[in-house]
Structure 1
């Protein structure tokens, strides 16, 4: 198998993991483990393993304190996405999350002083039309978030855009440090949000399940899902690093967009989503505009 083909498969595996992550998260939620606690457990375990594999990843935080910002925004990305995809309509969540290129355009304009081109503004406008179609429902004619899952998906996409901005700013730092920051951020932010939310009675405490008096049985039922998700996220991150380093940004974006397909097909087939014509049309516009944005960015980089 050629290297480009292997890189594409690596990226497709990463998209598959994230596209199907809703299923184990919902399985854990059904067993009494809220997605915030599940995210905390999964990313804590993954951080421990990653720290054992790459202990040098922690050594650069003192030299590059900006890594803590990467830790925060990447952690909030995982918190928002995992909570949203567990409790909301999977297709809507994934599509609203993939408004990320829109946030990236606006953030780059603000933080990096990159003025958008006329084409970028056209793509932004069409993306917003797609968002309106996705958010508008027969029960609510106004294009507003319908529930907490919609809000979390939008915030997660915004934080993901911020993550990409910080990754760009920190591209001079060792790759191991960026990986440690992102996984540790997923753990620490999930723990902080879970503790705060449980204190405010927004989510149940860690062992607030029907089996709270049989903690060992509960942990035994959770363990396979947590171990499996931790391993899958670690492998998917390594696959992303391998594939993205060997393919153009446009090709990477095209393959990564298969996450939408994996999430949509699996969730509709298993009854976790309902695919209406509005969601299909609006989602198609969001995905196409995201691909065009990636292609335009790649072409601009090529001509520099």
Structure 2
């Protein structure tokens, strides 16, 4: 149960992460510049506090390209949630790669650290099928928070699309694997 709650907390944090960027944008700072400033502050802090961390970039130059790709993805997401319908944006960006989680931690603070620890804790103790279904609650948190805070309206076709996504995930989670190796058997940890 703790593992599932940890995943739900992680989904909640990510599901409402659009709100601070909307607030910043409403005060006149474009999300592109807000994201760039966050990256610069983090890079400066890393340069001062963890000088040895930069050695990784020297040893593995492709990390810089990975960082640029991850940063571009975050800029796209941050910009999209300030300009578009939060529910649609979250659904479109739901399959962002795992490294964006790490950048979210760097960019958006310690709440994301705890959320990511919860993600790791829950995912390590539940099957992939269970984890994927529980993580869909992020879409629920993003949808409910955006409607509650007046950033979106819930239309029937969006409800239908979300319901189909959840139905597909639940269906795949409860599908039996033929033979002895049932993929739903939880690990003892």
The verdict on a shared fold, with TM-score over 0.5 as the criterion, is yes
Write the deviation string for residues 196-255 of structure 1: whole angstroms up to 9, x where unpaired: xxxxxxxxxxxxxxxxxxxxxxxxxxxxxxxxx423233323333333333322222222
Larger of the two Rg values belongs to structure: 1
Give the whole-Å Cα distance in 2 for the aligned partners of 1:72 and 1:294.
Answer: 34
Closer/same/farther in 2, CA of residues 53 and 288 from structure 1, 3 Å limit: farther
Aligned to 1:271, the other structure's residue is in SS state coil
Structure 2 matches for 1:78-227, cutoff 5 A? 78-98=74-94, 100=95, 160=96, 163-164=97-98, 182-183=102-103
Give the count of matched residue pairs.
Answer: 180
Judge conservation of contact 1:42–1:230 (CA < 8 Å) in 2. no
Give the whole-Å Cα distance in 2 for the aligned partners of 1:247 and 1:93.
Answer: 27
Give the whole-Å Cα distance in 1 for the aligned partners of 2:128 and 2:65.
Answer: 24
Structure 2 counterpart of 1:251: 130
Structure 2 counterpart of 1:16: 12
Judge conservation of contact 2:8–2:137 (CA < 8 Å) in 1. yes
Cα drift, residue 62 of structure 1: 4.2
Judge conservation of contact 1:43–1:230 (CA < 8 Å) in 2. no
CA RMSD of aligned residues (A): 3.7
TM-score (norm 1): 0.48
Structure 2 segments unaligned to the other structure (5+ residues): 185-189
Q: Of 139, 142, 150, which aligns to 1:271? A: 150
Closer/same/farther in 2, CA of residues 78 and 275 from structure 1, 3 Å limit: same
1:39 aligns with 2:35: yes
TM-score (norm 2): 0.72
Cα drift, residue 19 of structure 1: 0.8
